[in-house]
Each structure stands twice: as structure tokens, then as C-alpha cells.
Amino acid sequence: MVDKITIENLSVQYADGTESLRDISLGIAEKAISVLFGPAGGGKSTLLRCLNRLNDLTEVKAAAGQILIDGQNILDPQVDVIALRRKVGMVFARPVVLPLSIRGNLTYGLELAGEKRRTKLDEAVERSLKLAAIWDEVKDRLDDPAIALSGGQQQRICLARVLALQPEIILLDEPTSGLDPISTGKVEAALQELKKEYTIILVPHSVQQAGRTADYAAFFLQGELVEYGEGKTLFTAPKEKQTEDYITGRFG
Amino acid sequence: MEKSLNWYEFVITRLIKASGYSAILFVALIFFFLVREGVPALLEANLGSLLNTRWYPIEEHYGILPLITGSLIVTMGATLIAVPFGIGTAIYISEIAPRWMREILKPLVELLGGLPSVVLGFLGILVLSPYLRVLLDLPTGLTAFTGSLLLGGIAVPTVVSVAEDALDAVPRAYREGAWALGATRWQTIWRVTLPAARSGVLTAVMLGIGRAIGETMTVMMVTGNAPVLAIKLGSLFAPVRTMTATIAAEMGEVASGSTHYHVLFFIGMVLFLISLGVNVAASSVVFRTKKRAERILS
Amino acid sequence: MKRVLPNRHLTERIGFTAITLMAILTVLPIVAVVIYILFQGLPAISLGFLAGFPHDGMRAGGILPAIIGTIYLTIGTAIFSVPLGIAAAIYLSEYASDTPLTRTIRIAIINLAGIPSVVYGLFGLGLFVIFLNFGTSILAASLTLSIMTLPVIISTAEESLRSVPQAFRTVSISLGATRWQTIRRIVLKEALPGILTGVILGLERAAGETAPILFTGAAFFLPRLPQSPFDATMALPYHLFVISTQVPEMPIQIQYGTALVLLVFVLTMNLIATVIRSRARAKRQW
């Protein structure tokens, strides 16, 4: 498996100097689900937001290192951030549907990119809703406000919204934290299908979810990468004691 | 496509930033013009004579003290009315009134804030002042007191709006803590909620005072326009002249560039500085509110 | 042991009654004023009054020029203050960070809000009428009223923009939008009803003001309607002021009629703003 993303010696700081991530080096395999897990404050969300340069909006700065996606360092100021964000999509912890119709939510990104053709937009809407496994539930009410859907449905709309832009990488930051088990199952099932075509990085909301979904897993503790490996081996026979302690629930 | 988007966005961003700075530009501009036309007054009629007690421009007497006392006495009277009624109404709306009543009262108070001052002055002349003249057995109904009554009414919406926000912003947990300790709702209001909202209520009062000092038309129409030194208690029930009314009444009749003209601008400068002082003081009282807009609105 | 309980509840009873009374006494005059003017002024209202010109030194005839003048001034004020005010609000809400410069801007806005209306009149006289040589004109008066209305619009607009959830902006950016695209497509669109409410309330205030237009644009009598922005104009607030204080033997009915028209103008704007606000609150998708 070739690495889609290579993170080299990345250190990230807050504006006041406190460190969020310390010297992280990690390779993310393409077309697989990589899971970043660990207790709160570990820097997982921060790392995710570095990957689509969403941290540009906040007080968090990359102090050292680089992140290579397909060989190109995306932390370089010359990089076209807009194009990057279309290539690297993100699903957030709370389902945030835009105050538009379902169709409007899905076509938002494409319209921003300048796509105006009705046929292309409709095609994208249907394609992405099917990939997010929600087409059948909403196909008759695409012009209804997205806010009218349930939490689980909204989150899958958020996933579809990202997919409409045909990204290469999908980032998910605790996407099922507010959802019931059935909706969670639907999302996880969709991810298993999607990983055939997309590189997926997931921050799970529980160790169990990490265990269920991970092809590869990375354990983060207080800004440092403790251990990284294939999901099967890491969860059954972790190399580091800290990893084992966390997985077995001795701390959390 | 991306290129033209970038250029367009660049221009828009520049325009927005420039608009943001414009407020500073306008304040500076206003101050500049007031000073430009007002400072010559200090040269033509020196400061000493400006602080005289006689305002009689026809004979070149430019003592502004009577005008200052006029403004002061009317404003004080207005404050004495607006503060209790304003805070009381705010307490009622925020702490006592049922939901449906609140939905009626708030728009009504906002309505009062929107009434043109000239309409209130008009009613003052036709209705209030004759009534007061008869009621209080005065030679004329156009007095500082009449002005204070109307001005109080004008300042009340400001006080109510800001004070109500302040009371609203007090966390529910404070009240619940007091109730849990056995306090009645009344005791809670006076001993817990109101003190907690202290800085916001103070801001409300200051902004109300600011509103009263700056009012022009109402006072011009009902306070009698007699520039006499208003320092006795009886002055409240006699005609006075405020600074604002002086400017409004006499500006139309002065020759541009004359001493009288400059003195009027000087008075304007004084008013500007007073309102600057009040508003800076009011905003430095630390009070973060969601509805800052409504405060300025009324 | 002191018997405290009955006293406490009695105090509360008295206190609540007093406060309630205060609230009623505050609100009652508002209603009374409106009803009184309505009754006194209604007899004067006729098509001739609303659409006719004044005769006989204002003592007879109609007030059309004053009505038209107020409309012109309100539109003029809107033209200058609305785009500028909304843009400034967008700056404060979406672009500015907490720097000394931003704080200075905010202080400037608070000050603009507190300046007495007659001082605005002086400023307008000094800058627009004399220095820029616009003369006593609709243009000078509108510009003066605009600066006076600016703080109101900026504050309400900023409030409205800020109330749009931050999450929308984050999501929009993550989908490849620029900051301005996010503002235009999501933030501004959602904040629009609130902004509109603020604009209407600000313009309502401008329409009712007399002092700023006294030396900058108001005229007592014009034989015909203003033909250009450089003409002076009659206006309802100024007209009411003059006919109630400076015209001898002025029929009371016409005075009340004028007051009523002004009141209706202002209250209608208030009503429209309130309706927009409550409808927007109901339709909100967050």
C-alpha cells in the first residue's frame, strides 16, 4: 500500500506557545481507513485540521515539519488552499447542515467551484447521496430544508456533501459522537464501502469504534504519537504499555 | 475563473475594511469642524466672559453658565424620573411579568423610543404645559419641570432596554441558588439579581442621562427658553434654556462667521465633549451584552 | 425568635405591586399619546390634506410637500448609511480581530451614537452646507442624517451577523469557500432579516428628527416640490415644529393632523420592522 499522506516531524503550537503536537511522523495509507485515537487533548483533531488547513482560521500554527499529500507539502503558503479543501473533505462531530435545502447543501461546494450546469449538479447530488447510503430516504424531498432531518440523517448528508466534491481524502472528527447506534452503524458501513475509493482518516469517539473500523491505527497521547500500526495487530497485541493501558481502559 | 474571483474578492475586502474605519473618520471630522468653528469663540470672547452668567447675544453677552445650568437642571429632573421608572419597568419585564405580557411590553417601550421628539414637544405645548400651569398654579407652564417630565419619558426606553438586557444576562443559576436558600422572589431581585446586574444597570442610567442631555426639540418647545441661571429650587418650576435649545433656536439667525456663530459652535463643542465623556464612561463600565444594538437604538 | 415569614411575603406583595404600577405608568402614556393624537388629528385627515399644498401661511390646505420631503430625506439617508453601515458591520463581525484599532472603531461608534442631534446639525452645517458648498439641501441634510444613523445600523447589523452560528462558517470554509463567499452565501443571507430590522428602525429615527435638518436642509415654505438634491425641502418634523411654535392663529386641527401623519409614518416603519423580526425568528433554520 502506498502512502497517500506523509507527515514528517510536525510540531504544532497555540498562539501562546503551548504545544499541541510534538514531532509527529506518520504515513497514511491510501484507500484505507486510518484511525487516530487516544484520550482527549491528544492533538488528534488538531492534526486533522492541519490536513485541510482549517487551522488557518484559528490561533494554531505549525511550528515545524511538513505534511506531504501526493508528494506536495500542503503547509507551504503558496499552496492553493481552496483546491486543497476540495481534495480533502471533512465531516465534523456535530452534524452541521447549512441553512439550505438538502439539495442546496450538496451542491454548495460545487457551486462555489463555479459549476452551474443543472445536469452535473443533479448527477452529483444523486451520486453522493447514494455513496452516503441515504439516497432512498431523501430522494423525494431534496428541496426540503436539511434541518428537518434527524441527527443521523443530517450527519450522512454532511458526508454526502463532502463526497459531492469528489475528494481524494475524507477526514472525520468523531462523526458519530451524537448519534444513536443504528445511525452509527450506517455511517460505519458507508465508510467500509467508501474506503475502496477514498483515503479515510477517522477520529473515533470510542476505542470500540476504533477497533471496529481501523485498517491502520495511531495512538496519540498528549500531543505525541505513541504507537502506529495495522489495526488488527495494534488492538490485540499493542507494543507500548501506554497503548495497552488505554485500550483496556486502565485510563481514559 | 479563480483569478477573477481573487481580484473581485480583493476589492470587496478592501472596501469592507475601509468602511470599518469610517466611523473613526466621522468622529474625527465632527470634532474637527466643531473645533474649527468653535475655538474662535475663545479668542473673540475670552473664556472669562464665556463663563459669565448673562446670555444676551444681542448685546454681545455670551455667558453660557445659564445655559449649562439649564441643561443640568432639566437633565437632573429627567434622570430622577427616568431612572426609577426605567429600572422598575426593566425589573418588571425581566423578573415579574408573565411571558405574554413581556411580548406586549417590550414592543411598546421600543415604540416610545421611536416617537419623534418633536411630537412629544408638540403635545407638551398643547396639553401638558397648560395642565401643569393650572395644576401647580404657575405663571407659565413652560418650565424646566415640564421639560424634565417629557425628557424623562424620552430617556426611559434607553434605560429600560439596557437595564433589561443586564438583568436578563444574570445567569439563572444565581436566582435558583437564592430560591433554594429560601429567599422570596422579591428578596432575590433586590439582593441577588439587581446587584449582579449592577454594572449593566449603571450603564443604562448613564446612557439615559446622555440621551437626556442631548435632547433638543422637546426642550426647545417646552422649557420656556429663558436663559436664566437655574440654581434655586424654584428654578425647576420656572422657564430655563438648555444648551441644545440655544443652538437650535439661534443658529438660524446668526451671520456665518460672527462671534455669535462661533459661540454657538463652541457650545456644540462642549456638548460633544460632555457626550463623549458620558459614553466613554458608560462603555468602560464592563458590560458585555448580546443586544448592544438595542441599547443604541433607543 | 423573630417572626420573619409573614413580613417577607407582605414586602414582596407591596414590592411587586409598586413595580407593576411603575411599569404600567411607563407604558400607559405611550398608548395615551398615540390614541390622543389619533383622535385629535383624524378629523383633519382628508385626501386634500395629504395630497395638497399649504395655503394661507400654512393655516389651510395640505402638507404634501412635507410628506414628500420626509420621504426624500429618508431615501437619501438610506442611500448613504445602509451600504456603508452594513459594510462596516461585516468588517467588525467577520474580519476584525481584537486589536487596539478595532477597539478604537468601537469607541468611535459608541460616540457617534451619543452625539446630540443638534450637534449633528452644526456639523452638517459646517461641513456639507458651507465647506463643501452644497447649500441648504436635501443632499446636505441626508448626509448629516446618514452619519447620525450609521451607529444604529452598524450595531444592529453586527449583532445580526454575529448571531449566525460560527459552525456555518467553518463548514463553508472546509468545503472550499473563501471568506467573502461564505459571508455572501451563508452569513449575510441568514443575517439579512435582522439587518433589515435595524435599518428600518434606524431610518425611522432619521425620519422623525428635526435638529439635524434645521440648518442643513429644512425650509419652511417652498412653492413647489424639490426638483433636485440641491434643493431645500419641507419635512414633517420641521413642519410640525414650526406650525406649533411660530405660526400665529394656527388651527389646532391641522397641527394635530400633521402630528398624526408623522406618527403614522414612524409607527408604520416600526411595525414593519417588528413584523420582519418576528417572522424571521420563526423561520430560522438554526
**Interface contact flag, A99 C285, Cβ < 8 Å:** yes
Q: What's chain C's average pLDDT?
A: 90
Structural domain of C235:
63-283
Confidence label for B287 from pLDDT (cuts 50, 70 and 90): very low
Question: Cell numbers of B243, please?
Answer: 444648551
Written as one letter, the residue type at B97 is A
Mean pLDDT of all residues in B155-181: 89
Chain B CA closest to residue A114: B1
Partner-chain residue, chosen from A98, A147, A165, that has the shortest CB–CB distance to C176: A165
Q: What is the ipTM of this complex?
A: 0.91
Q: Does residue A161 contact residue A122 with C-beta atoms inside 8 Å?
A: no
Question: Which residues of chain A make contact with B2, given a CB cutoff of 8 A?
Answer: 80, 82
Ramachandran area for residue B224 (φ above 0: left; ψ -120 to 50: alpha; else beta): left
Residue C242 lies in a domain: yes
Residue B288 has pLDDT above 60, yes or no: no
Mean pLDDT of all residues in B131-156: 89
Nearest-angstrom CA–CA distance, C221 and C53: 10
Whole-number pLDDT of residue B293 = 44
Confidence label for B119 from pLDDT (cuts 50, 70 and 90): very high
Kindly state the percentage of chain A with pLDDT values over 90.
64
Nearest-angstrom CA–CA distance, C137 and C139: 5
Chain A CA closest to residue B6: A82
Q: What is the pLDDT of residues A55-111, one digit of tens each?
A: 888 888 888 899 999 888 999 888 999 999 999 999 999 999 999 999 999 999 999
Strand A199-203 with A169-173, pairing: parallel
Residue C5 has pLDDT above 70, yes or no: no
Question: Which residues of chain A make contact with C173, given a CB cutoff of 8 A?
Answer: 54, 57, 85
Residue A137 lies in a domain: no
| CATH code of C67's domain | 1.10.3720.10
Mean pLDDT of all residues in B3-9: 74
Enumerate domains of chain B plus CATH numbers.
33-297 (1.10.3720.10)
Whole-number pLDDT of residue A163 = 95
Question: Residue C117: which H helix or E strand, with range?
Answer: helix C117-124
Residue C50 lies in a domain: no
Residue A152 lies in a domain: no
| CATH code of A235's domain | 3.40.50.300
The Cα of A198 is separated from the nearest Cα of chain B by a number of Å equal to: 26
Q: Number of folded domains in chain C?
A: 1
**Interface contact flag, B296 C155, Cβ < 8 Å:** yes
Whole-number pLDDT of residue B289 = 47
Whole-number pLDDT of residue B290 = 41
Whole-number pLDDT of residue C6 = 67
Residue B3 has pLDDT above 60, yes or no: no
**Interface contact flag, A85 C186, Cβ < 8 Å:** no
Q: Where are the alpha helices (DSSP H) in A52-180?
A: 81-87, 102-112, 118-131, 135-138, 151-163
Residue A62 lies in a domain: yes
Contacts of residue C18, Cβ cutoff 8 Å, sequence gap at least 6: B88
Question: Which residues of chain B make contact with C152, given a CB cutoff of 8 A?
Answer: 293, 296-297
Work out the number of other CB atoms within 10 angstroms of the CB of residue C63: 27
Which of C70, C90, C115 is best to mutate for the B interface (most B CBs within 10 A)? C115
The Cα of B7 is separated from the nearest Cα of chain A by a number of Å equal to: 15
Confidence label for B124 from pLDDT (cuts 50, 70 and 90): very high
Question: Which residues of chain C make contact with B278, given a CB cutoff of 8 A?
Answer: 114
Intra-chain end-to-end CA distance of chain C, in Å: 55
**Interface contact flag, C174 A85, Cβ < 8 Å:** yes
Question: Which residues of chain C make contact with B280, given a CB cutoff of 8 A?
Answer: 107, 110-111
Structural domain of A234:
3-96+168-247
Work out the number of other CB atoms within 10 angstroms of the CB of residue B44: 18
Chain A CA closest to residue C182: A112
CA dihedral B4, C166, C95, B27 (to 10 degrees): 130
Q: Does residue A118 contact residue A108 with C-beta atoms inside 8 Å?
A: no
Residue A155 lies in a domain: no
Mean pLDDT of all residues in C236-257: 90
Residue A157 lies in a domain: no
3-state secondary structure of C65: helix
**Interface contact flag, C168 A108, Cβ < 8 Å:** no
Question: Which residues of chain A make contact with C177, given a CB cutoff of 8 A?
Answer: 82, 109, 112
Residue B236 has pLDDT above 50, yes or no: yes
Confidence label for A162 from pLDDT (cuts 50, 70 and 90): very high
Q: Number of folded domains in chain A?
A: 1
Mean pLDDT of all residues in A223-242: 89
Q: Does residue B225 contact residue B10 with C-beta atoms inside 8 Å?
A: no
Mean pLDDT of all residues in A181-207: 92
- Residue B1 in contact with partner chain A when CB distance is under 8 A: yes
Q: What is the pLDDT of residues C124-171, one digit of tens each?
A: 999 999 899 998 999 999 999 999 999 999 999 999 999 999 999 999
Q: What's chain B's average pLDDT?
A: 86
Residue A39 lies in a domain: yes
Q: Which residue has the higher pLDDT, B179 or A252?
A: B179
The Cα of C224 is separated from the nearest Cα of chain B by a number of Å equal to: 22
Q: Does residue A188 contact residue A35 with C-beta atoms inside 8 Å?
A: no
Nearest-angstrom CA–CA distance, C9 and A164: 65
Residue A185 lies in a domain: yes
Residue A190 lies in a domain: yes
User: For the residues of C221-263, what is the DSSP string, one character each?
Assistant: --SS---STTS-B--HHHHHHHHHHT-TT--HHHHHHHHHHHH
